[in-house]
Amino acid sequence: MKGSAAAMVYAAASLIPDKSRLAGTIHISTTVVEEIIEGVALGAVMARVLPDWVVIGESTDLNLNRGQRGRGEVELITVGRPAHSSNPQVGVNAAKKMFRLLAEIEKLPLPQSEFLGSAILELTDIMSLPYPGASVIPDRCKATLDRRLLVGETEEGVLAPIRVLIDRRPVLVLHARELQRRDRRRAHHRVRPVPGGSGARDRRVHRGGAADLGSARLRRDRP
């Protein structure tokens, strides 16, 4: 990206002698930490400048590419029951539940676009709790999937097939007292845009009956 940033600076500088002929204002943004806080730094610039057009300096073999996929993060949480690893049969391993769910998600068909190609759903992060385990069966596991979005896709549309998979999985047989306690907590799907992202308002879709399995939520960047 450094090469494209330098090219943009020189291109803008070359227009200074003829700036009176420009119909608008050119802004150059060299925001940082793209992969770690994607959309946050750039979102602050976009909110202040409100540009009509944006040129992004990605590598394209010197071709002019038009359009790109949007991006969201799907967060999955599975819930188990802790136990000592020397006696695993009395617990429920949340990480193993996540593995089974991810294997089914891997088989899901994804939307296609003649212009942008296929949507993408790829695992980028997974962690079980407690961490480090230290001979404890994990009772919680969180996975993050990178979801590349096509034009017209919605938050509900992205999460719907994953929710179907969650609903199809059998509910584990738990002690009645524990099951009632978990049902009172009510699992929920949270749909939340990334800061500086699409601008869609936060909203929550609540549902009960699967508190022992966990939940899913979508964080969406600016397309």
pLDDT at 145 (0 to 100) = 93
Arithmetic mean of pLDDT, 30-42: 78
Q: How sure is the predictor about 68, in pLDDT bands with cuts at 50, 70 and 90?
A: confident
The CATH class, in words, for 70-220 is alpha beta
pLDDT of residue 217: 62
Give me the pLDDT at residue 5, please. Answer: 87
Q: Could you read off the pLDDT of 149-202 as tens digits, one per residue? A: 999 998 889 999 998 888 876 443 333 333 333 333 333 333 333 333 333 322
Q: Which of 20-24, 105-109, 153-157 has the highest mean pLDDT?
A: 105-109
* Lowest-pLDDT choice from 29-33, 95-99, 149-153: 29-33
Domain spans of the chain, in order of start: 2-49, 70-220
pLDDT score, position 207: 29
**Both tokens assigned to 215:** 């939940």
pTM: 0.63
Q: Report whether pLDDT(214) > 80.
A: no
State the pLDDT confidence band at 220, using cuts at 50, 70 and 90: low
Confidence of residue 22 (pLDDT cuts 50, 70, 90): confident
What pLDDT, on a 0 to 100 scale, did the predictor assign at position 218? 61
